[in-house]
Amino acid sequence: MKNVVAVVLGGGRGTRLQPLTTYRSKPAVPLAAKYRLIDIPISNCLNAGLNHVFVLTQFMTASLHQHIRGTYRFDAFGGGFVEILAAQQTMDADATLDWYQGTADAVRKNLRYLLQPGFDYVLILSGDQLYRMDFAKMLAEHQASGADVSIAGKPVERSEASALGIMRLDDTGRVIGFVEKPKTAEQLDQVRMDPAWIDARGVESHGRDCLASMGIYLWNRDAMVEALEQSNSSDFGKEIFPNAIKQRHVQVSLFDGYWEDIGTIRSFYECNLAMARADSPFSLADASAPIYTRARFLPPTRCDGAEITQSLIAEGCVIEPGAKIENSVIGLRCRIGKNAVIKDSILMGADMYETPSQLAALPPGEPPLGVGDGTLIQGAIVDKNCRIAPGLKVVNDTGQEDYGEGRNCVVRDGILVVPKNCTLGPDWHL
């Protein structure tokens, strides 16, 4: 893997993940109590022995810079790096064109970094997906097939196909057709695969007859450079990849583990809570392929007479007597008051502890960081550094699917979200 360089696409403004992306880029959004989304693709790379990684982003990069700088450090003998390539102004006449116009445009603008000696392959990854994949296996399959580009493909049900890019293969596994988000039965029939073909290649189809693109591409570097230079297309999935099918050898690399695109508040919410279950489809406790993140020197979480079921609890928390936590994710440094109830919710915690002098200096009526005594939080996401007064009911009991900015909260996909740094005082209500 020493001759492979990975490029993680940080995504655009992350509008579908608002307000979680108001103060941070999408790859920097916290995940599973103690990680960030960017830790997933980088950990997959490191577990495969791939330690040359560029992260391309242009929106709200400060916290992402801080996380990567404090997490992924390599010694002088390993020769690895994880570096951010943010959009930057050049000497071109039109400065507005310096912003990345899409995924392919972002890579095109950074080709000089990928053309460094020693890189023969380029692995293109997304910064907002949750999965565990062996990229070394993908490289071996790619080399054996003699392809110009390989793409990870996952069998899916027809009912899922309308939200994905669906591929058709020949008997050798070469991609010969592609339909982006097919909506009609006729379009699906154009790319339908025989489940028996999938079964014969070591992946159990269970009757699934559609192969979805996962947006993970392994290119021969020179072929990718040529494809980008011959086209001014801005997007890999919608333009560069379909064109490559017509002009180059594109091979599929089959995958059938857990994979989820975390692009919306609903998918973010459901993925986090799924990881808290005893039968989680994505295990965080895999010693052979761990998820890496920043090493924080925090004390153990202290629980005193609390009732906790089916939940993830990060380090540095204080959970007071009588608190009940069910089917929830509790982030770093979270303080949960006496008899508080947290159910079906995600609390991201805090970036700091308040000192006794800071607590004494709080204005009258302003609660400390964390969740006050007797508060109920259900079906909600509470971002970092929030203050929630005692006795509040933080629940979307209006039945609304989407609710705009108001009273320090929003509702997205039916989920109540309290944005970062917000205070819900004693008189708060939805």
Mark whether 261 and 333 lie in a shared domain. Answer: no
Number of domains in the chain: 2
Residue 3 φ/ψ, nearest 5 degrees:
-100, 20
- 52 located within any domain: yes
pLDDT at 76: 79
pLDDT at 93: 44
Mark whether 188 and 318 lie in a shared domain. Answer: no
Mark whether 109 and 246 lie in a shared domain. Answer: yes
DSSP 193: -
pLDDT at 153: 95
- 283 located within any domain: no
Chosen domain end from 224, 240, 275:
275
DSSP β-ladder status, 409-412 and 403-406: antiparallel
- Choose the weakest-confidence range: 37-51, 186-200, 312-326: 186-200
Percent of the chain predicted with pLDDT > 70: 96
Q: Residue 371's domain is classified under what CATH number?
A: 2.160.10.10
Mark whether 160 and 206 lie in a shared domain. Answer: yes
- 292 located within any domain: no
Q: What is the mean pLDDT of residues 378-401?
A: 94
- 429 located within any domain: no
pLDDT tens per residue across span 94-123: 555 567 788 888 899 999 999 999 999 999
* Rounded Cα–Cα distance for residues 198 and 203 (Å): 6
Contact criterion met (CB below 8 Å) for 389 and 370: no
Mark whether 377 and 261 lie in a shared domain. Answer: no
Residue 269 φ/ψ, nearest 5 degrees:
-60, -50
Mark whether 106 and 9 lie in a shared domain. Answer: yes
Mark whether 129 and 183 lie in a shared domain. Answer: yes
What range does the domain containing 372 cover? 302-424
- 328 located within any domain: yes
Q: What is the mean pLDDT of residues 53-64?
A: 86
Mark whether 161 and 19 lie in a shared domain. Answer: yes
- 417 located within any domain: yes
Mark whether 23 and 156 lie in a shared domain. Answer: yes
Q: What is the mean pLDDT of residues 247-269?
A: 94
Q: What is the mean pLDDT of residues 259-275?
A: 95
Q: Is 174 exposed, middle or buried (0-12, 13-18, 19+ CB in 10 A)?
A: middle
Nearest to 215 by CA among 11, 1, 3: 11
Task: Check residues 20 and 89 and name the one with the higher pLDDT.
Answer: 20
CA angle, 359 then 317 then 419, to 5°? 70
Amino acid present at 261: D
Q: What is the mean pLDDT of residues 196-218?
A: 93
Mark whether 346 and 209 lie in a shared domain. Answer: no
pLDDT tens per residue across span 290-327: 999 999 999 999 999 999 999 999 999 999 999 999 99
Mark whether 248 and 326 lie in a shared domain. Answer: no
DSSP β-ladder status, 149-156 and 210-220: antiparallel
Q: What is the mean pLDDT of residues 77-81?
A: 84
Q: Residue 188's domain is classified under what CATH number?
A: 3.90.550.10
pLDDT tens per residue across span 129-138: 999 999 999 9
* Rounded Cα–Cα distance for residues 366 and 359 (Å): 10
- 295 located within any domain: no
pLDDT tens per residue across span 226-236: 999 988 888 88
Mark whether 348 and 271 lie in a shared domain. Answer: no
What Rg, from alpha-carbon coordinates, does the chain have? 23
- 326 located within any domain: yes
